[in-house]
Structure 1
Amino acid sequence: MSTLSTASRSSHPVIGRAAAGLGFTQLNNGLWRVTRADGSVLGYVEQPDVGKGGAYVAKRLGNDRRSFFTLGDFRSFSEALECLRFS
């Protein structure tokens, strides 16, 4: 079952539902942590231009655990989730 925090649902109308088997938690106004059902972190989705309808960026932590690397830029939150799921 996917999880969606109340804060995410109410503060971001574009995000209607999580992809099946994935959960996400809004960390701030333009950043979400994406997890599997078992709680393991898949990565992060960021919307750099919050409020402007900008693209979403799928990211993962680097091996050094200090930096992120970008997997891609997407037009929708759900596309970024799918990238994290299948990468």
Structure 2
Amino acid sequence: MSTALWNDPAPAPRLSGWGRMTHVAAGLWRIADPRGVVVGHIRAIATDGDWRYAAERFHAASGRFRALGEFWSSSDALECLRYTR
């Protein structure tokens, strides 16, 4: 797990042995596969007393990130990034 650079109240996702994670902003982590290729972002979203996690993948043709979905657990958001390649 990477070291937080900001005073971030959002709990960091847990990679559970797959890939690498870099804390790039408050509530935002860049996710790379085991080879170091960036596969997307996980964004923490504050809800009523809890957190949701959004999986986002970069779309080269449009030059933007596309939302893949929002999840109640960071592990579900990471699995979405891992398997939707």
With the shorter chain as reference, the TM-score category is 0.7 to 0.9
Structure number with higher helix proportion: 1
Partner of residue 32, structure 2: 35
Q: Percent identity?
A: 33
Q: Which whole-Å deviations, capped at 9, do the CAs of 1:9-61 have from their partners, x for residues lacking one?
A: x95673473222221111011111000111101111111338x5231100001
**For residues 14 and 32 of structure 2, what CA distance do their matches in structure 1 show?**
14
Distance 1:49 1:24 in 2: 20
Aligned counterparts of 1:14 and 1:48: Cα–Cα separation in 2:
10
Matched, 1:66 2:66: no
Task: Verify: 1:19 aligned to 2:8, yes or no.
Answer: no
Task: For 2:4, give the aligned amino acid.
Answer: A
Q: What do you get for the CA RMSD once the two structures are aligned?
A: 2.6
Question: Is the partner of 2:31 in helix, strand or coil?
Answer: strand
Change (3 A) 1:85 1:16: closer
Gaps of 5+ in 1: none
Deviation, 1:68, is: 1.1
Count of residue pairs brought into register by the alignment: 83
| TM-score, normalising length: structure 1 | 0.76
Rounded to whole Å, the distance in 1 between the matches of 2:45 and 2:13 is 19
SS, match of residue 50 in structure 2:
coil
> What amino acid maps onto 2:18 in structure 1?
G
Do the aligned partners of 2:39 and 2:58 also contact (CA within 8 Å) in 1?
Answer: no
Pick one of 30, 39, 42 that aligns with 1:45. Answer: 42
